[in-house]
């Protein structure tokens, strides 16, 4: 008689939880997945996928404007927000079905219920208990709202995907990628947008040249960037909302969006009661193999607050299955993970920033190219692309590649392979570029910029 009901119980059916459960079930493990909200987690429902669809919608505004420079005559464009949201919702529903079929097709059992740990091998869902030899916590993260007067008027990125009407005025608090991306989305769809951030510049952790270049481009699009400020209070007014800022100023707006970060979604699921250690942010503390302080309980994805990206959670899931169900201990490799900000224009990056490289190495060469994309010689748009390489002078190895400009994420994805393989600047230089493209600049930059004093 089996000692436990399941070999694996997974809490959360997001990208990481689904991948781990599918892989384990395909190896013959008996798997149950508990999910109380929606299959696919944040990425599918209120993250990567719907956000990118809204980004595409917002980018059409500039495409319509640019078309005139190429001889096109168009009528007055307008956005039907409800149609956009309805079409988006239909695609998300389709993906929910895909995730269900993938899980069930692998043999995993889906239990659509809140579940909490009773002990290291037991979860409680409703009035039923289920046991497993191994438990995987993959509960993701959740948007955070600051505790300020009037916080009940704040929306988060989750809410933004379900607004009944497109607001005419939007104030966004925050300086991370979510804040920057939604500023571009709402502005592209026609709203007046103000972004308020406590720092001197947004996107902390990205290369400083990219941060500055993107700020310039966003201001060209009439996005009001208010740095070194915070939103202190929100009040309802006859015409909408008033957000009072830390500098004494105020904003009259229709929507105030909190994009000030996300917290690990770990409360109320019995982790501490089962002996699982959490850090000060509520993230599950794990070792390099994603094992928690309780030997049979593992955690992956945003609830561990390591590197909160969907492809990373999926990679952590594969490593977990290798470790637990294949007997092949596999730590995650977090070096040279590419990432993007789907701003307007896009930002893509992989490897070390210039500041990180100079902090770690004695000799660093930086190559930088800034230019007007060929498209805009006819469109007339005042937009500059920025491309940058960071190189270890001693080994000639390319340590970082960064870009602000159209299709930056698509371009950086390819360069990420080169960096993962240890490519040198000489190898970049010996690669023939595709002309005319922006990407060719990465293999035609010959002279490093002067080092800072």
Q: What is the pLDDT of residues 291-320, one digit of tens each?
A: 999 999 999 999 999 999 999 999 999 999
CA dist 419 to 205, 415, 438, Å?
19, 6, 19
Q: How many whole angstroms separate alpha carbon 432 and alpha carbon 287?
A: 43
Report pLDDT digits (tens) over 49-104.
Answer: 999 999 999 999 999 999 999 999 989 999 999 999 999 999 999 999 999 999 99
Tokens 């700020």 correspond to 215
**451 confidence band (pLDDT: 50, 70, 90):** confident
Residue 377 has pLDDT above 60, yes or no: yes
Tokens 């917290």 correspond to 263
**CA-wise closest residue to 66 among 430, 329, 376, 411:** 376
Task: Say what the pLDDT of residue 452 is.
Answer: 82
Residue 289 has pLDDT above 70, yes or no: yes
Helix locations, 308-406, DSSP H: 310-325, 354-360, 375-379
Q: How many whole angstroms separate alpha carbon 370 and alpha carbon 388?
A: 9
Task: Record the tokens describing residue 278, joined without a space.
Answer: 């959490």
Sign of CA dihedral 70, 377, 435, 411: negative
**383 confidence band (pLDDT: 50, 70, 90):** very high
Task: Say what the pLDDT of residue 10 is.
Answer: 98
Residue 194 in contact with residue 171, Cβ under 8 Å?
A: yes
Average pLDDT over residues 336-358: 98
Rg (CA), the chain: 24
Task: Say what the pLDDT of residue 259 is.
Answer: 97
Average pLDDT over residues 391-401: 98
Mean pLDDT (the chain, rounded): 97
Average pLDDT over residues 420-442: 97
Task: Say what the pLDDT of residue 1 is.
Answer: 54
Report pLDDT digits (tens) over 156-202.
Answer: 999 999 999 999 999 999 999 999 999 999 999 999 999 999 999 99
Average pLDDT over residues 246-267: 96
Q: Describe the crossing of helices 177-188 and 48-67 by its angle, rounded to 10 degrees.
A: 40
Q: How many whole angstroms separate alpha carbon 363 and alpha carbon 353?
A: 14
Question: What does the buried/exposed string (b/e) look like for 273-301 if buried means 16 or more CB atoms within 10 Å of the residue's CB?
Answer: ebebebeeebbbebeebbbbebeebbbbb
HSE-CB for 296 with a 13 A CA cutoff: 16
Domains along the sequence of the chain with CATH: 6-142+263-325 (3.50.50.60), 151-260 (3.50.50.60), 339-443 (3.30.390.30)
Active-site residues, by number, are 435
Average pLDDT over residues 35-58: 96
Average pLDDT over residues 130-135: 98
Q: How many whole angstroms separate alpha carbon 380 and alpha carbon 123?
A: 61
pTM of the model: 0.96
């Amino acid at each position: 008689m089996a000692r436990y009901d399941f070999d694996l119980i997974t809490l959360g059916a997001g990208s990481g939880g689904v991948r781990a459960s599918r892989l384990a079930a395909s190896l013959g493990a008996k798997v149950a997945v508990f999910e109380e909200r929606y299959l696919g987690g944040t990425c599918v429902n209120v993250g990567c996928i719907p956000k990118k669809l809204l980004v595409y919608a917002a980018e059409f505004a500039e495409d319509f404007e640019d078309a005139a420079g190429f001889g096109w005559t168009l009528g007055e464009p307008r956005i039907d927000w409800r149609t956009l949201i309805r079409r988006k919702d239909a695609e998300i529903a389709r993906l929910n079905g895909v995730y269900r079929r993938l899980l069930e097709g692998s043999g995993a059992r889906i239990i659509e219920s809140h579940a909490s740990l009773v002990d290291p091998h037991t979860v409680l869902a409703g009035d039923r208990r289920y046991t497993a030899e191994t438990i995987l916590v993959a509960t993701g993260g959740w948007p955070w709202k600051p505790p300020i007067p009037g916080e009940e008027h704040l929306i988060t990125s989750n809410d933004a995907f379900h607004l009944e009407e497109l607001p005419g005025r939007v104030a966004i608090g925050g300086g991370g990628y979510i804040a920057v991306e939604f500023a571009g989305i709402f502005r592209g769809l026609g709203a007046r947008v103000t972004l308020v951030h406590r720092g001197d510049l947004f996107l902390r952790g990205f290369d400083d040249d990219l941060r500055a270049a993107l700020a310039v481009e966003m201001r060209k699009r009439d996005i009001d960037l208010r740095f070194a400020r915070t939103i202190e209070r929100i009040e309802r007014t006859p015409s909408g909302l008033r957000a009072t800022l830390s500098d004494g100023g105020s904003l009259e707006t229709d929507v105030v969006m909190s994009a000030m970060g996300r917290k690990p979604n770990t409360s109320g699921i019995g982790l501490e009661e089962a002996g699982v250690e959490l850090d000060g942010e509520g993230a599950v503390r794990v070792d390099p193999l994603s094992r928690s302080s309780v030997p049979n309980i593992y955690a992956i994805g945003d609830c561990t607050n390591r590197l909160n990206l969907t492809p990373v959670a999926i990679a952590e899931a594969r490593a977990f299955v290798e470790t637990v169900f294949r007997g092949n201990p596999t730590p995650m490799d977090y070096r040279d993970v590419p990432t993007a900000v789907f701003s307007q224009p896009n930002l893509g990056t992989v490897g070390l920033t210039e500041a990180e490289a100079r902090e770690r190495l004695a000799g660093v060469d930086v190559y930088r190219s800034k230019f007007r994309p060929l498209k805009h010689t006819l469109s007339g748009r005042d937009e500059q692309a920025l491309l940058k390489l960071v190189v270890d002078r001693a080994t000639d190895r390319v340590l970082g590649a960064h870009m602000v400009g159209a299709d930056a994420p698509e371009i950086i994805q390819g360069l990420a392979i080169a960096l993962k393989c240890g490519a040198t600047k000489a190898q970049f230089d010996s690669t023939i570029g595709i002309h005319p493209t922006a990407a060719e600049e990465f293999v035609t930059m010959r002279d490093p910029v002067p080092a800072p004093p």
